[in-house]
Every structure is written in structure tokens, then in C-alpha cells.
Structure 1
């Protein structure tokens, strides 16, 4: 790779790394795995950088690579046996109202927990459509499937997400009682 292309890649990687990490986290639910997925996707992009000509194509290409990396990781046999229950701590922002920050943090946690219960393809469709704000056609290109598949996976994913959130709501009173010190 020429020095000019190398510099273009470095600039792109610096600009997009944080957004790719957030997308990967929304899909996999683990910050460490999200970092690994982004690193793997950027390594694969580096190898194909000279073939990817237009800037608009690069964003779609790296998103596609990121989703494939996650699906490949999800399919690995050892991953099926691992169950993650830990909570990743977040740094508090003292400039924000503590009550509002706590409410937002709780809501984010509820959505992330529910999203983790949605099947992988449906979760990928939801993240691309609603968190990455891609059109149906763009999501279909990233997932390498038809637009109809994206629509059906999104619809089923929303139903699964709604069901998961309702199950969490049902468990809330029971968990509150169990957590009380008598």
C-alpha cells in the first residue's frame, strides 16, 4: 500500500472507530468483544483498502465486514457455552442531573438487556435499521440478503424485543421484593 493510501486509511480508522465500536456493542452487548470485532473489521478493511475506491462505499463495506465478523464470532462453538452476566460500569458525568442520568442509565440497561435476548440476525437488522439509521436497501446490502428479509427480520426482531422488555417488566416486582432486606 502506498504512503498516501496508508494515511487515508489511518484517517478513516480514527474517524470511524468510535462509531463502529458503538455499533458492535449494540450488536454483541459486550464492550471488550466490540473492540475485538472493530479491530478485526479494520484489519480486514486495511487489506482491501486499495480496492475500495469511493468513500461512500467504504462505510458500507466496513459495516458489512463488522456484521460478518460478529456473525462468525457468534457461530463459534465455544461461544455457545459462554454466558456473560457481568455489568460493565460506566463513568458518571457530574455535570448531569443525577436523577435524570440514573433514569437514562436504567432505560439504556433495560434496552440493552432486551436487545441481547433477540436472535442474532434480527438483532443485526434492528441495529442497522434503528441505531445506524440505514434504509432497508442499505441494511440488505450490509447483511447480504433481500430487502424483504430485512423487513421480516426487523418486524420479528421488534416483536422479540417487545416480548423481552415485557418479560423484564414482569420480573421487576419480583426482583425488588427479593432484593429487600428484611
Structure 2
């Protein structure tokens, strides 16, 4: 059973990555914060008595469900208000978030790299970020869980509510799409 302190420590350890993952999906900082907060509250409320080792998979599943709920609400809201002239979806903001977040500051302090190297590295990360954001939802989710959250295939399958084979397929397709896109941009060798 997780103590209050263990639960608190766990939530602190995942909050930044959960925010970035949510931000990839919803592309709205306020919505991503709401999703993360909602998912953390649900974990604490419904599963706070579970062993610490079970919390990561439970949390990833709750986070996925909260994100899907957000999309459902948005779809319903758009259907209800689509005839109002003052309601517009603004897709121009899709690229206005930064995968690196606070990591960008670390790049600037690297003494062994020139300013050009730091700038080039930041540009490459932004291009990679853009390509990840462009992946289809399930491919992006599988890719982020496997390679950003460092979950294994079975954990990812449990978090996504699908089979391990589906996770492998989604990850493979995501990697192929990213590879093609990054080769086309000259980031990876042909």
C-alpha cells in the first residue's frame, strides 16, 4: 500500500512528463494542465491505496482516459456550437509548444558547445517535436509511452488498453514515419 508521501513523490516524479504528453495530444497548455490535474486526482482518489509498483501503469491508463474524455468533450462542444460565428477552433497554435520545456535552459549552459551548435540542436529538437506531433494519435501515444515514458510493451499495452501486438505495430509505424520525415529534412542520413 502506498503511503501519502509515496503517492505524493510518485505524482511529483511524473507531473512534467505527463504534462508534455498531454500537451502533445491536446496542443493547449491549459487543457493539458487540467487533464494532468484531473488524472492525478483520480489516481489519488481511486487508487491511492494500491502498491507503489502499480501506480505507474494505473496513472498512464488514467491519463490516457482523461485525454480521451477531453477529446470527446471537445467534439461534443464543437457539435453543439458549430453554428455560432464566434466559435472557431484555432489550429494555428498547434506548433506553439516546446517539447524541451525547461531542458532548453540546459542547452544554453553547455560550455563545450558553441552558440551555433546549441542553436542547431534546438532547431533539430523542434523539428523532431513537430514530426512527433504530426503522428496519428495512437502511434503518437504508443511512441511517447514506449520511448518518452520508457515503458515496456506490456505496460504500454495496459496503459493504452490494447494488445501488445498493436503497441508494436503503432511503434513501428511511428518510427518509420519519423525516420522518413527526418531523412527528408536532412536530420537523419538517407
TM-score (norm 2): 0.71
Instruction: Structure 2 unaligned segments of length 5 or more: list them.
Output: 80-88
Alignment partner of 1:23 is 2:37: no
Q: Which runs of 4+ in 1 moved over 6 A?
A: none
Task: Decide whether aligned partners of structure 1 residues 28 and 165 sit closer, same or farther in structure 2, where only a CA change above 3 A counts.
Answer: farther
Within a 5 Å distance, the mapping from 1:112-127 to structure 2 comes to 112-127=129-144
2:122 to 101, 105, 126: 105
Is the CA contact 1:60–1:142 (under 8 Å) kept in the aligned structure 2?
Answer: yes
Instruction: Structure 1 unaligned segments of length 5 or more: list them.
Output: 171-182
Across the aligned residues of Structure 1 and Structure 2, the Cα RMSD in angstroms comes to 2.9
Within a 5 Å distance, the mapping from 1:127-142 to structure 2 comes to 127-142=144-159
Task: Decide whether aligned partners of structure 1 residues 92 and 72 sit closer, same or farther in structure 2, where only a CA change above 3 A counts.
Answer: same
Deviation of 1:28 (Å): 4.4
TM-score (norm 1): 0.74
2:34 to 33, 36, 45: 36
Matches of 2:6 and 2:151, distance apart in 1: 24
Deviation of 1:26 (Å): 4.4
Is the CA contact 1:71–1:120 (under 8 Å) kept in the aligned structure 2?
Answer: no
Number of matched residues?
Answer: 165
For 2:57, the equivalent position in structure 1 comes to 60
Deviation of 1:5 (Å): 4.9
The superposition leaves residues 25-49 of structure 1 with CA deviations (integer Å, 9 ceiling, x where unpaired) of: 4444554443222111111112113
Is the CA contact 2:145–2:151 (under 8 Å) kept in the aligned structure 1?
Answer: yes
Task: Decide whether aligned partners of structure 1 residues 20 and 88 sit closer, same or farther in structure 2, where only a CA change above 3 A counts.
Answer: closer
The superposition leaves residues 59-103 of structure 1 with CA deviations (integer Å, 9 ceiling, x where unpaired) of: 111111112222332343157944124534766454234223212
